[in-house]
Structure 1
Amino acid sequence: MRCNLPENYLPWYIEFFDSDYESIYSTIFEESQTTSEVNSLVNLLKFKQNDSILDLCCGPGRHALLLSKLGFDITAVDLNAEYLSQIINNAKKNKLMLKTVRSDMRYLPFHQQFDVIINMFTSFGYLENDEENFKVLEAIHSSLKSKGWLLIDMLNREWVVANNIKTEWKIGANNHAIIEHRDINLMTSRSSITFSTLQKDGSILNSIGHHIRLYTLTEMVRFLEKANMDVKDVYGNLQKEKYSINSRRMIIVAQKNS
């Protein structure tokens, strides 16, 4: 299936991450949470000190920077140039050694380079259809060394369907009130969340939000097998809790076959 898109089409993930993501989500990314997640990653994947690790869709680099601080060989990849600039500045400030690469996740410029690839915070499923999302797994396979490891951290579709709340308030950056508008299309399995932010002057700023294809575990196993990777473990969180349909997250650990 081809992606027939107009020439001026701007994917949601470019517009949202260019303008709204940090202001909406910054309050939930506390340093203690990032430290806990990175420690769990190290424990779960048993990183070796000389492992080469790719943080795919790294965002502002909260995992990549801390992994670099722990002494690991880190490459941070994202499509957003501003995020990569933030990472470079933070790395210089803290005298950290890590590499940054700007790339579409479908077209990674690597070949059998990494021992481990991590893809955190539901960064898989962004693209327009299954064929485009599968290209990401093909690019990951090409970038991994033989017998290399992949960890994907994603929302559990089963949990989202059972716990979908149409509207919810939260507090974002600068103590602005934010309304989340949620919808899940059961035919396409695409979760759409848009945001309305109440400004200090009383006006409302609407955000395009994010629109992610959520996959079941069965679909992901088949997808990964098609990409020549075997699923070795599935957890309900990074602390290795047993996965079930009631788990909010789905942590998939897969290994490249050859």
Structure 2
Amino acid sequence: MRFRSAGKPVEWFKRSFGSDYLKVYAHRDAEEARQQIDFLEEKIHPAAGAKILDLCCGSGRHAIEMARRGYNVVGQDISQELLDIARRDADESGLALQFIEKDMREIPFKNEIDIVVNFFTSFGYFEDHNDDQAVLNAVSEALKAGGRLLLDHINPDFVCASLVRNETRTISGLEVCQERWIDEGRQRVEKRLTIIEEGKTRTYLESVKMYKREEIAVMLEKAGLRIGETYGDFSGARFSKDSPRMIVIAEKA
């Protein structure tokens, strides 16, 4: 899904991640990040001082939590606005970590990273499947041999069964209208966010490819990654068609 600007299409994710995004998703907070990094440590057992790439790090809540625990953390994201917030929060916490503004298909490391994490449905953004494959290829190139990937994605079966099509709420003082639908032909779940503030309206779109686990496994294999355990949530429950999440752990051969 794309906007148009001066006749040229603009990919949705290049304009949807900013201050409004943080307000709408304010419930995705530091406490949730702590719980998810607990899960990472329980399932992957990073070595002390491991070099971890938080791919699509946003405002840095996971990256900062990992840095607090002594890991060597790099955060990468395409949103300058969110990265500015991440840098500010890291500085205020007295933490030294690196943030990079770059497309997820272009990871500037080769055989250097111990673990790549990709939290909160930050995969499947591109219209062209080859671009999503390019992300996993870049992850594989960045990882050391034996390095691990944690990919936190939607579960298509759960999304289709539980989709709330229309919802209006007041969030952070904003009236937020959310419309969701499934594009079956493109295998995507789509959302239109309409924010009304002081009589003014702003609209954002989100669009994510609903990859099944079997499809993810094939893509990982093409990238030189071997799929391992798959979990259905951050409590560590076994993955099933009823799971709210699809959390895949893979290893570089």
| TM-score, length-scaled by structure 2 | 0.93
Measured after TM superposition, the shift of residue 23 of structure 1 is 2.2
Aligned pairs, how many? 249
Compute the RMSD of aligned alpha carbons.
1.7
| Number of the residue aligned with 1:16 | 16
The counterpart of 2:228, out of the listed 232, 239, 244, is 232
The one-letter amino acid paired with 1:12 is: W
Structure 2 unaligned residues grouped into runs of 5+: 1-5
| Number of the residue aligned with 1:118 | 117
The one-letter amino acid paired with 1:51 is: A
SS of 2:123's partner is coil
Q: Distance in 2 between matches of 1:170 and 1:146?
A: 47
Q: Distance in 1 between matches of 2:225 and 2:99?
A: 26
Q: Distance in 2 between matches of 1:61 and 1:98?
A: 10
SS of 2:10's partner is coil
| Number of the residue aligned with 1:219 | 215
Q: Does 1:64 align with 2:56?
A: no
The one-letter amino acid paired with 1:72 is: Y
| Number of the residue aligned with 2:45 | 46
Q: Distance in 1 between matches of 2:106 and 2:147?
A: 19
Structure 1 or 2: more strand by fraction: 2
| Number of the residue aligned with 1:3 | none
Q: Does 1:97 align with 2:96?
A: yes
The runs of at least 4 aligned residues of structure 1 exceeding 3 Å deviation read none
- Preserved contact between residue 54 and residue 118 of structure 1 (Cα < 8 Å): yes
List per-residue Cα deviations over 1:192-240 (Å, max 9, x = no partner): 10112233x4x36242221111101111011111111111100001221
The one-letter amino acid paired with 1:113 is: E
| Number of the residue aligned with 1:76 | 75
Q: Distance in 2 between matches of 1:74 and 1:151?
A: 15
| TM-score, length-scaled by structure 1 | 0.91
The counterpart of 1:190, out of the listed 175, 188, 191, is 188
